[in-house]
Amino acid sequence: MNHLVASYLEPDNLGAWGTYLEQVDRVTPYLGPLSRWVETLKRPKRTLIVDVPIELDNGTIAHYEGYRVHHNLSRGPGKGGVRYHPNVTLSEVMALSAWMSIKTAVVNVPFGGAKGGIRVDPKSLSLGELERMTRRFTSEINMMIGPQKDIPAPDVNTNEQIMAWMMDTYSVNQGHTATGVVTGKPISLGGSLGRRDATGRGVFVVAKEAYADMGFDITQATVAIQGLGNVGGEAARLFDRAGAKIVAIQDHSATLYNPSGFNVTELLKHVALTHEIKGFNGESISAESFWSTPCDVLIPAALESQISKVNANAIQAKLIVEGANGPTTPEADDILQERGIIVVPDVIANAGGVTVSYFEWVQDFSSFFWTEEEINQRLDKIMIDAFRGIVSVAKTHNVSLRTATFIVGCERILKARQLRGLYP
C-alpha cells in the first residue's frame, strides 16, 4: 500500500462505491417521478471477475485478478477505462463504471458507463509480461467488449501501447481488424488527434470558466496539482501556458512546493524521463501538508478518496476542480461547501477524455479523421456548454455543482431507462 493514500485507511471511509451511492441518494429528492427508476443506478447491470494467468520472464506462473463492469447501458454501449493498480477492487471498478454512466450523460455522448481493471503493480512487470497480461485480460473479457457493446480506454497506468495490444487481441479473436473496440489508441492505428491531452484540456477549460464565474482571472491563479500523469500533466501545461503559477505538486513519489512557481516545461520533461516528480527542484514537504499549501485552485488528478474529513478543513484553495475520479468523500464535500469552497465535480471536470473518445469512435466508424483544431474546438464547446447547463441547474435548485451535475446526468439516464421500459 502506498504511504500517500492515507485516507484509504480511515476505518469509516465509505470507499468509492459507498461514495457513489451516497451521491445518488443526495440527488434522488430532485428527480421527481424519475426517482421510481433510481434503484437501477444503484446496481451495475453486469460484473465480470476474471483470472489472468501469465508466464513471468523467470518461468513461474503468476495469477492476477481482473474485472470488467457494465454499470448502465440505457443510453448506448459501455464506455470506460482500464486501470492497472495494486489497490484495484471490484467495488472500486463498480464505482468508476457508475461515474462513467453519469459522465457520458452529462456531456450527452451516446454511451453508457463501464470500467475495468487488474489488481497488479504494473511497475513490477517487464514489457513482455505487461503485454502478455494485457492480451490474456482482453481475451478473458472478450464477451463483454466490442465496438457496439463496450469500448475500453486508458486509465491509471494504462496507455496507448496497452490500447494497441487490446485492439490487436480483440481483432485477432474476431478475425478482422476492429479499431473501434478501444479509444486512446496510437494515431497510426485509428486513434484521434487530441485524445491524449483531452482530459487535462477539459480540466483546464472548466477551471477557467468556473474561476471566471467566481470573479477571478485564471492567468493570475496559483495552482496545486496532485498527480502529474496523463490528466494532471496536461492540465499543468495549460495552466502554465495561460500564465497561472503551479506552486505545489504531489505524486506517488514525492510532494514538492515552490511558491514562485515550478518551471513546468522542465518538470514535464523530468516526469517523462523518470515517471515521477522525485528529484525535481523544489522544497520537499510532507504528503499531508500538500493539502494545506496556500493556492487558489486545487486539482486532484490521482486517485479516489484523497480529500476526506481529515484534510478538508485545511484546504486553502477557493476552487477545486476534480481531474481524478471520486477524489472527494461526501463528508469532505459537506465541509468544503460549508467553507464556501467551490468544487467542480469529476463527472463534468474530467469528461474531456470521454468526449474525445467519442470523437475517436465516430472517426473510426466513418474512417474519416478530423484535424486537431476541429477536435479541440468541438471539445471546448461541449465542455463549456455542459458546464453552463450545470451552473444554471445549480442556481435553479440552489444546490452544489456536484448535486446539479448528478441531477443532469441521472435525469438523462433515467429518462432513457423509462422510455425503453422493462423487458419483459
User: What CA–CA distance (Å, rounded) separates 6 from 307?
Assistant: 10
Q: Does 101 bind ligand NAD (CB under 6 A)?
A: no
Q: Site map for ligand NAD, 247-266, x if CB under 6 A?
A: ---xxx--------------
Selected binder of ligand NAD within 225, 246, 301, 383 (CB under 6 A): 301
State the CB neighbour count (10 A cutoff) for residue 270: 19
Q: CA 155 → CA 85, 323, 380, 416, distances in Å?
A: 10, 12, 21, 27
Q: Site map for ligand NAD, 149-188, x if CB under 6 A?
A: -----xxxx-------------------------------
Kindly state the smallest distance separating residue 58's Cβ from ligand NAD, in Å.
26
Q: CA 423 → CA 33, 70, 158, 419, distances in Å?
A: 20, 18, 37, 12
State the CB neighbour count (10 A cutoff) for residue 247: 22
Q: Does 230 bind ligand NAD (CB under 6 A)?
A: yes
Angle between helices 195-213 and 352-366 (to 10 degrees): 140
Question: How many chain residues bind ligand NAD (CB under 6 A)?
Answer: 26
Q: Does 56 bind ligand NAD (CB under 6 A)?
A: no
Q: Which is nearer to ligand NAD, 198 or 399 (CB)?
A: 198
Q: Which is nearer to ligand NAD, 5 or 172 (CB)?
A: 5
Q: Which is nearer to ligand NAD, 195 or 412 (CB)?
A: 195
Q: Site map for ligand NAD, 348-367, x if CB under 6 A?
A: --x--x--------------
Q: Which is nearer to ligand NAD, 222 or 250 (CB)?
A: 250
User: What CA–CA distance (Å, rounded) separates 387 from 401?
Assistant: 9
Selected binder of ligand NAD within 305, 325, 328, 329 (CB under 6 A): 325
Is the Cα torsion angle 203, 207, 208, 213 positive or negative in sign?
Answer: positive
Q: Does 324 bind ligand NAD (CB under 6 A)?
A: yes
The catalytic residues are: 115
State the CB neighbour count (10 A cutoff) for residue 201: 25
**Cell 477545486 identifies what position?**
320
Structural Rg of the chain based on CA atoms? 20
Q: Does 125 bind ligand NAD (CB under 6 A)?
A: no
User: What CA–CA distance (Å, rounded) separates 53 from 34?
Assistant: 44
Residues within the interface to ligand NAD (CB under 6 A): 2, 4-5, 154-157, 199, 226-232, 250-252, 301-303, 323-325, 350, 353
